[in-house]
Amino acid sequence: MTDLKALSAANAARWAEAKSIRNFSTVAARLVSAPAKDRYQAVSAKTGVPWFFIAVVHEREASQNWNTQLGQGDPLGSVSVHVPKGRGPFKTWEDGAYDALVNCAPFAARNRDWSVGGTLTMLEQYNGLGYAARGKPSPYIWSGTDQYVSGKYVRDGVFDASVVDQQLGCAGLLRAMTQLDPTITFTGAKIVPAGRAPSPAPKPPPANPSIHAPAKGSLGAFFVDLFKSLFGRK
């Protein structure tokens, strides 16, 4: 079983060192532009998954084709045949995206660590942990950077060490997107979906009662209030 904490640390370290060896800017500009960003943000508001995570998954799975399912890039109007299988059909891209993020492994909507390491590791889980099990950087994340050389699962469960992934990886896309859109940050904070209020902050414990500040409802509080009423003190 893959140690996800160790993988998060490894991905964060790769992020700090990675250099792009391909051009990510053109695709990144398309992903952050309206109306695409508006649609990603609408799904983010319902799921709690950052919109930029949704954007790069959409690019990797379907080259941002709005007629496909976010889960695996299968046609929106058909039942999916690739993992996750048996999903759909869906009327809208947003419906399929919600299903993929909320109802399908790795259940991205349950993630609460959206730091760089946490985000990249959730993306890696989205594609599968086969590369991590082999001790290799995932091309789903690192293709197009100096962190990846070769090796690819050419179909579900079939790995070919000689194949080089030709798609742009999520890490390079995210880095290019942050340069175009300064609202993209990796704070690691919990993201609360719309309509789900965050838990209220706990109230501070009451101060220890004393003769000057007796506990509310106590006999001491009664005499203090009586003293104030008789002598007009406030």
pLDDT in tens, 79-134: 999 999 999 999 999 999 999 999 999 999 999 999 999 999 999 999 999 999 99
Note the pLDDT of residue 157: 85
pTM recorded for the entire structure: 0.81
- 211 lies in which domain range? 205-234
Q: Are residues 162 and 225 both part of a single domain?
A: no
Q: Are residues 49 and 154 both part of a single domain?
A: yes
- pLDDT grade, residue 187 (50/70/90)? confident
- Residue 208 pLDDT more than 70? no
Q: Are residues 34 and 131 both part of a single domain?
A: yes
CB crowding 6-19: b at 16 or more within 10 Å, else e: ebbebbbebbeebe
Task: Tell me, letter by letter, the H, E, C secondary structure of 164-225.
Answer: CCCCCCHHHHHHHHHHHCCCCCCCCCCCCCCCCCCCCCCCCCCCCCCCCCCCCCCHHHHHHH
Whether 140 and 171 have beta carbons less than 8 Å apart is answered as no
Residue 143 is assigned to a structural domain of this protein: yes
Share of the chain above pLDDT 90, in %: 77
Query: In sequence order, what are the residues at sequence separation of 6 or more whose Cβ sits closer than 8 angstroms to the Cβ of residue 33?
Result: none
Q: pLDDT tens, 119-177?
A: 999 999 999 999 999 999 999 999 999 999 999 999 878 999 999 999 999 999 999 99
As given in the structure block, the two tokens for residue 39 are 């649609």
Note the pLDDT of residue 54: 98
Q: Are residues 163 and 231 both part of a single domain?
A: no
Count of beta carbons in the 10 Å neighbourhood of residue 163: 13
Q: Are residues 127 and 229 both part of a single domain?
A: no
- Residue 201 pLDDT more than 50? no
